[in-house]
Amino acid sequence: KRSYSITLLPGDGIGPEVTTVAKNVLDFTGSLEGIKFNFREMLLGGAALDETGVPLPDETLSVAKQSDAILLGAIGGYKWDKNEKRLKPETGLLQLREGLKVYANLRPAIVFPQLMDASTLKREIVDGVDLVVVRELTGGIYFGKPRGFSTDENGEESGFNTEIYTTHQIDCITRFAFEIAQKRRGKLCSVDKANVLEASMLWRRRVLAIAEEYPDVELSHMYVDNASMQLVRYPKQFDTIVTNNIFGDILSDEAAMITGSIGMLPSASLADLGPGIFEPIHGSAPDIAGQDKANPFATVLSAAMLLKYGLGEEKAAERIDYAVLDTLNRGFRTADIYSAGTKLVGCKQIGEEIMGLFGSAVGAV
């Protein structure tokens, strides 16, 4: 029997609700596929701050490093919003990404035919959308120095950050994205702001240089303002998008809405070596936390990405993808993707429906 160690980081808000569902789905899939998962739950974010005083305890990072993959919920919440930078839940997440060197963040946005009417866009615009945002995750303005606050002689305060990329960082994420595009429909769109920002000028130059290694991929460039417009104008023009850390953060939330809800988008954050982090792209949704309203599909689909990209267990991953489709086919919806004629249920029941156990004796476990 194959066995894997998985670090479970539920985090805050709806994080524990959606990771519980995904963990159960993993266990259930494992039992069907002869795979044993050894979960170790650790603290991250606000939960870690309350318990240990820091958002990423050393123990969490070392356990995560030694595991085969990390399944993460979400972090953050009102309670910690005014904390200084060092003591924010978000800082813990960024330290985790940096600590694991997961520079490549895959955020696929696929429109399920069953959810076409859940999108705020017209059916003919979203029908058939299948794109992936490849977001650089451990560089750019999120990590650039100098950063901080300063006060001038008149007492005027400034807050400042630095958008910075090295050729090495750009080359790595660009190659990663070309490889992805090659396995998809062979189209790569690099999104930047090279008309204004030096970091983007270098980005575009390096993307053009690396492109010579991939003559079979059709490369295009777009400024980020245009890209955000094109995403809602005609999303089907996109196959693979590669972009920097902050543009990728924003564009992937926008892409999520094409699919119907931010509660549908999974992600995989990968390093060249060592375990990946698998998490939904959404946050801790404090407005609906603790009410069994959260959509767990994004986290369940992240668990499928964990199996595929993290462990190479493609068959088990397909089983989860299939079970998600089946659950949607049978009409089960959380509030964020509800439309007339479907069945409105909570987070827990979606989990039970995915495992096909709802209502049976085993389902009570």
Q: Which does 270 bind (CB under 5 to 8 A by kind): ligand NAD, ligand IPM, Mn ion, none?
A: none
Span of 83-91, 132-140, 207-215, 243-251 interacting with Mn ion by CB under 5 A: 243-251
Residue 270 touching ligand IPM (CB under 6 A) = no
Closest to ligand NAD by CB, 108 or 263: 263
Residue type present at position 105: N
Token duo for residue 21: 């569902």
What is the phi/psi pair of residue 97, to 5°?
-60, -45
Element (H, E) at 178: helix 167-183
Residue 353 touching ligand NAD (CB under 6 A) = no
CB of residue 299 to ligand IPM, shortest distance in Å: 13
Q: Which of 12, 90, 352, 353 binds ligand IPM (CB under 6 A)?
A: 90
What is the phi/psi pair of residue 149, to 5°?
-125, 150
Q: Which of 21, 22, 93, 350 binds ligand IPM (CB under 6 A)?
A: 93
Q: How far is CA 267 from the centre of its chain?
A: 3
Span of 20-28, 88-96, 304-312, 318-326 interacting with ligand IPM by CB under 6 A: 88-96
Q: What is the DSSP letter of 1?
A: -
Q: Identify the burial level of 329 via C-beta atoms within 10 angstroms of its C-beta, where 0-12 means exposed, 13-18 middle and 19 or more buried.
A: exposed
Q: Which of 74, 96, 118, 137 binds ligand NAD (CB under 6 A)?
A: 74
Residue 49 touching ligand IPM (CB under 6 A) = no
CB of residue 196 to ligand IPM, shortest distance in Å: 21
Residue 313 touching ligand IPM (CB under 6 A) = no
Residue 285 touching ligand NAD (CB under 6 A) = yes
Task: Write out the DSSP string of 295-363.
Answer: --HHHHHHHHHIIIIIT--HHHHHHHHHHHHHHHHTTEE-GGG--TTSEE--HHHHHHHHTT-TTSSGG
Span of 34-42, 234-242, 249-257, 337-345 interacting with Mn ion by CB under 5 A: 249-257
E-strand spans in the chain? 2-11, 35-41, 69-74, 104-110, 130-136, 148-151, 157-160, 187-192, 218-223, 240-243, 268-270, 277-278, 332-333, 343-344
Residue 350 touching ligand NAD (CB under 6 A) = no
Task: Write out the DSSP string of 225-245.
Answer: HHHHHHHHH-GGG-SEEEE-H
Q: Residues with catalytic annotation?
A: 142, 193, 225, 249, 253
Residue 17 touching Mn ion (CB under 5 A) = no
Residue 92 touching ligand NAD (CB under 6 A) = no
Residue type present at position 31: S
Token duo for residue 335: 């509030």
Residue 76 touching ligand NAD (CB under 6 A) = yes
Q: Which of 249, 313, 352, 353 binds ligand IPM (CB under 6 A)?
A: 249
Q: Which does 119 bind (CB under 5 to 8 A by kind): ligand IPM, Mn ion, ligand NAD, none?
A: none
CB of residue 80 to ligand NAD, shortest distance in Å: 8
Q: Which of 137, 231, 288, 305 binds ligand NAD (CB under 6 A)?
A: 288
